[in-house]
A = this chain, B = another copy of it.
């Protein structure tokens, strides 16, 4: 019997804590194999600092409530571990920490970079002969991990974006006769248009919003775009645009890089919505509004999809079961069995075939005109936003987990990670 270490990494989601819950609850079912589950504070950075939480000190009711709690309960990090060859101080320190706390199972919960980290640690453990079961657990709103049908976290953002577009479009439709005619919603997706695509689920028929989706995968054609907006306003009375933050000019530069200067004369960061809105105002004269969901979209636990929540819990549980059964060096996956009715199960995929790959939105998910989604996209996306799983509310506000966060006693000297 050895202890386990779980940590969260990269941008967090509305349901990553459901994965933590799956790990902690499932480990308790393997008392002969798995001892204490420690959580690294702020991902691998906390492991390097020997900043560990003893999850066995938590009240089971609060652990269960992690399902209802967005964000990363144990903190996350953006930290890329140095490559394992040659061996480096970070990796040396990592194994000192693992050894000091008799950790034999390492579960890393994140996106592509995090799977790469898990893979590096696996390689290093073999190189130095430290027996370690190393399992990656998928999480990313970007939905771009290889080997899995979808990524926990994505389904809830997808639902948030689709519902937000439906709701805001009814607002714009009400106002368009004498006021706002164009509404732009900026969504996440720096490299792939999965989230932008999900907004397309808001519309069912001809003329339904969103009328224009700007994908990172389709070079922005200003003339065709403006013509589409103009004709949509003429036909429908208003136009709803969903712009991926990763939308690009034909030369490959981000549209957001064209969005002007801030009050300090610096190039504005972000701001594809502001750019698109200004363009529409200046070229077509329409009154506009724009919204930027930013963190709200990926933390909106209140509107999380039940499917996504179930996926998130299941990948945590499956990681522990796989590890206890002797599997090593894999990432847990969601495998789709059927579209309608939706059927799925968890599976595994070798870590070395996941790390540093990004799965783009397939071209056949985008309509030939580049502004919408196809039936293939709808078939893929629809099950992921299904089901309602509201948190418990008290006095109108959600009730989140309150963890004790009892720190594990330090046994090693202090250490500063190489890339702070």
Interface residues of A (CB under 8 A from B): 8, 11-12, 14, 41-43, 45-46, 69-73, 75-79, 159, 162-164, 166-175, 177-179, 183, 185, 201-202, 258-264, 266, 268, 270-271, 273-275, 278-279, 282, 289-296, 298-303, 305, 307, 382, 385-388, 390, 393, 395-398, 400, 420
A45-B178, A75-B173 known; A260-B258 Cβ under 8 A: no
CB contact between A170 and one of B170, B299, B302 (< 8 Å): that residue: B299
A305-B396, A395-B382 known; A175-B266 Cβ under 8 A: no
Asked if B289 contacts A8 (CB within 8 A), the reply is no
What is the CA–CA distance of A302 and B303 in the complex, to the nearest angstrom? Answer: 8
Asked if A278 contacts B263 (CB within 8 A), the reply is yes
Asked if A295 contacts B289 (CB within 8 A), the reply is yes
Asked if B264 contacts A75 (CB within 8 A), the reply is no
Asked if A278 contacts B295 (CB within 8 A), the reply is no
Asked if B279 contacts A289 (CB within 8 A), the reply is no
List chain B residues, Cβ under 8 A from A295.
168, 171-172, 183, 289, 291
A260-B268, A266-B282, A290-B294 known; A69-B178 Cβ under 8 A: no
Asked if B263 contacts A76 (CB within 8 A), the reply is no
Asked if B274 contacts A268 (CB within 8 A), the reply is yes
Asked if B175 contacts A302 (CB within 8 A), the reply is no
What is the CA–CA distance of A270 and B295 in the complex, to the nearest angstrom? Answer: 19
6 contacts across the A-B interface (CB closer than 8 A): A11-B175, A164-B296, A172-B295, A260-B264, A270-B274, A273-B292
Beyond the given A171-B295, A260-B261, could you list 15 further A-B residue pairs with CB under 8 A, ordered by the A residue number?
A12-B170, A70-B171, A71-B169, A71-B170, A163-B398, A167-B398, A171-B299, A259-B263, A260-B260, A260-B268, A262-B275, A266-B282, A270-B290, A290-B294, A302-B303
Asked if B168 contacts A299 (CB within 8 A), the reply is yes
Min C-beta distance of A74 to chain B, whole Å: 8
Asked if A302 contacts B163 (CB within 8 A), the reply is yes
- The residue on B at minimum CB distance from A306 is B396
Min C-beta distance of A88 to chain B, whole Å: 18
CB contact between A396 and one of B72, B159, B298 (< 8 Å): that residue: B159
Asked if B266 contacts A263 (CB within 8 A), the reply is no
List chain B residues, Cβ under 8 A from A301.
167
What is the CA–CA distance of A237 and B420 in the complex, to the nearest angstrom? Answer: 15
What is the CA–CA distance of A296 and B165 in the complex, to the nearest angstrom? Answer: 8
What is the CA–CA distance of A292 and B187 in the complex, to the nearest angstrom? Answer: 11
List chain B residues, Cβ under 8 A from A41.
177
Min C-beta distance of A303 to chain B, whole Å: 6
What is the CA–CA distance of A14 and B386 in the complex, to the nearest angstrom? Answer: 22
CB contact between A388 and one of B43, B261, B396 (< 8 Å): that residue: B396
List chain B residues, Cβ under 8 A from A11.
175
Asked if A178 contacts B77 (CB within 8 A), the reply is yes
CB contact between A296 and one of B258, B273, B291, B395 (< 8 Å): that residue: B291
- The residue on B at minimum CB distance from A72 is B174
What is the CA–CA distance of A292 and B271 in the complex, to the nearest angstrom? Answer: 11
List chain B residues, Cβ under 8 A from A266.
278, 282
Asked if A170 contacts B268 (CB within 8 A), the reply is no
Asked if A302 contacts B167 (CB within 8 A), the reply is yes
What is the CA–CA distance of A390 and B393 in the complex, to the nearest angstrom? Answer: 12
What is the CA–CA distance of A172 and B75 in the complex, to the nearest angstrom? Answer: 9
List chain B residues, Cβ under 8 A from A185.
296
What is the CA–CA distance of A295 and B168 in the complex, to the nearest angstrom? Answer: 6
